[in-house]
Amino acid sequence: MRNLKLTLEYDGKRYLGWQRLGDSDKTIQGKIEKVITQMTGETIEIVGSGRTDAGAHARGQVANFKTNAQLSLKEMLVFFNRYLPDDIVVKEMEEVPERFHARYNALGKQYSYYVWNSPIPTAFERYHSFQISQPLDIAKMEAACELLEGTHDFLGFSALKKSKKSTERRIDSIKISQDGEMLRFTFVGNGFLYKMVRILMGTIIEIGAGNLPISIIEEVFTSKTRSQAGETAPAQGLFLDEVYY
């Protein structure tokens, strides 16, 4: 039995997220598994490093699956990119040890979130960024990012109602870069809770717009109450850039 690792990129705007759904074929996992069955004749479940939300994108999603197929990696790569939809691409394939697990072995991830900060919309990036018309205070947002860095209980910055597992995570860095009207927020950490990046982004944006005080961050860490944090930023601005192993 071979264990194969895939590095994927996809444009998520047409899909209901990563996770396969029984009543829909509009998922990334579902599309990939369908092609694997065509290629190998086997019914196989692919394991992703994590679930991306409906409408979110990936430049470096990682997944693995096990198969008895004897096709070469080059043959499989050609097959995937011939039969997958054009907005899902397998960038790399490699054979990995039997015990490799794309989710359980992940040590960290990098996400980017894009904000189009202009009263004039963008025709080309409308499905890949979140438009904010009002001016944003970069210095305030950078100060907010510094407060979010480090190890904290991020339950209040997630969409989890409650969790039996630890909701403590470590954010190594949150950086803001600007190219004209486009702002890129880059998050690097050892793990992220359900909708955590989007809720952090909503909070950072509201601080930058002057709608929330920067003190709200410590208040949410203390109270662990989701309703105190900012709105959940839309999925279309979110990209999974890389998974670290």
Mean pLDDT value of segment 103-122? 98
Q: Are 128 and 113 in contact (CB under 8 A)?
A: no
Average pLDDT of the chain, as a whole number: 96
The CA-to-CA distance between both ends of the chain, in Å, stands at 22
Rounded CA-CA distance 115/204 in Å is: 11
Rounded CA-CA distance 108/190 in Å is: 4
- Element spanning 32, H or E: helix 28-40
**Sign of dihedral through CA atoms 19, 24, 25, 27?**
negative
Q: How confident is the model over 4-62, as pLDDT tens digits?
A: 999 999 999 999 999 988 777 899 999 999 999 999 999 999 999 999 999 999 999 99
Which pair of structure tokens corresponds to residue 45?
Answer: 């479940």
Q: Are 49 and 190 in contact (CB under 8 A)?
A: no
The pLDDT of residue 23 = 72
The pLDDT of residue 24 = 77
DSSP structure class, residue 21 = B
Helix/strand/coil (H, E, C) string of 81-117? HHHCCCCEEEEEEEEECCCCCCCCCCCEEEEEEEEEE
Q: Are 53 and 195 in contact (CB under 8 A)?
A: yes
Please state the pTM of the whole predicted model: 0.95
Phi and psi (nearest 5°) for 236? -65, -15
Residues 6 or more apart whose Cβ sits within 8 Å of residue 207: 137, 140, 141, 144, 213, 214, 216, 230
Question: Which residues are part of the catalytic machinery?
Answer: 53
Q: Are 174 and 187 in contact (CB under 8 A)?
A: yes
Does the pLDDT of residue 128 top 80, yes or no?
A: yes
Domains of the chain as residue ranges with CATH:
2-96 (3.30.70.580), 108-244 (3.30.70.660)
CA atoms within 13 A on the CB side of 38: 13
The pLDDT of residue 25 = 84
